[in-house]
Amino acid sequence: MWRGFSHLLKKDFRMMISGKFFLLALLSLCLYSGYINFVYAKLDQKIFPVCLYDPQGRLPDVSEYVTKLDSREALKAACADQYSVGIDLSRAVPEIYMLSCGMETTDHYRMAWGEAILHGNVDGQAERIGANTREMKNRREITAEFLFFELTAVGFLGLASMLFKEKQMGVIRVHGILPVCRGVFILSKLLLLLCSDLVFTILLTVINLGVSEAVEALAGVLLQAGILSLIMALVGFLCAVRLPDFKQFSLFYLILAVFVTTPVFLAGQTGMKWNWIVYHPMYHLFEAMKGAFFLTPMTKAPYYLACAGTIILLFLLSYQTLNREVAKEG
């Protein structure tokens, strides 16, 4: 069996090379790392701009953070970006004017900043929490998101594209008469994809966090990357065997990207509050990945039991589906 396994590994490795799998992974690594190092890590978003309309001059000592305007209409226009905060002193009672950005937490910060400007409370010292600088926080956050996206896409599409190519070449039909366990047929692909995903994880983490920070986080990150890689690879294998052609598979992948992955990013990054998101399995994988990058690894036993059970179940389903496909091919 193991001799046949080594031949399958060599065959799958050659197919990954011919399919430019490693080249695409390298290009993704360069693209992600370039964006992180030259764009995202350099972002230093200014604090919420404050615009003041004060026709009677009721606020003589204007803070350096304030831009004075000449009319109420100009104040409304300046705040139309849903980011700026307006202060209107044209009436007896001062008014904080702003348009909601759609995120309750951010709106709360904007309101608090506007009130601090109005009352002159801008000289306080903020307490620093944690050891991450703003740049390192940005690096950890965006690297976790890119890695999650890459593993979700590569594991799913990588194995599926390989299997569709084998189906077109008649490999599955030939495999039906070979003395090789069908479970080994699945394991060879899983092992190669898992190893390539883990290498990609190490390189992406080291390049974008630095060696010392990466060493601290890699143990937890590799664990979460391995779990996500196996789950998505098995889902891709199951769909590729089950669906008759790549067009139907592409439609299924579009549904996965839009309706499964997108809500996870929105809930995790924009502050949108959806009570149902806790029942979304990908949300917990995403949060575990981010937690690993921020050195707060997932420690809940039910999470790991659920992941292990999911991997075993997907493997068994893939095995049974492959048996039916081989029988159908004759």
Average pLDDT for runs of 10 along the chain of length 330: 70 81 89 89 72 83 79 89 87 87 78 81 57 82 90 75 72 57 82 92 95 93 94 86 75 74 71 74 89 88 94 92 73
Of the three residues 119, 141, 164, the one that is the final residue of a domain is: 119
217 and 317 share one domain: yes
Count of structural domains, the chain: 2
Q: Would 272 be classed as within a structural domain? A: yes
223 and 321 share one domain: yes
114 and 139 share one domain: no
206 and 312 share one domain: yes
Contact 104, 273 (CB under 8 A): yes
- Range of the structural domain that residue 89 is part of: 50-119
71 and 102 share one domain: yes
Q: Both tokens of residue 146?
A: 């890119």
State the distance between the two ends of the chain, measured CA to CA, in whole angstroms: 22
158 and 271 share one domain: yes
Contact 172, 22 (CB under 8 A): no
Note the pLDDT of residue 46. Answer: 64
51's enclosing H/E stretch is strand 50-53
Note the pLDDT of residue 293. Answer: 94
Q: Would 206 be classed as within a structural domain? A: yes
76 and 173 share one domain: no
Note the pLDDT of residue 178. Answer: 55
Q: Would 126 be classed as within a structural domain? A: no
What is the C-alpha separation between 297 and 292, in angstroms, rounded?
5
Note the pLDDT of residue 136. Answer: 87
Note the pLDDT of residue 132. Answer: 74
61 and 205 share one domain: no
311 and 279 share one domain: yes
Q: Is the whole-model pTM more than 0.85?
A: no
166's enclosing H/E stretch is helix 134-169
Mean of all residue pLDDT scores within the chain: 82
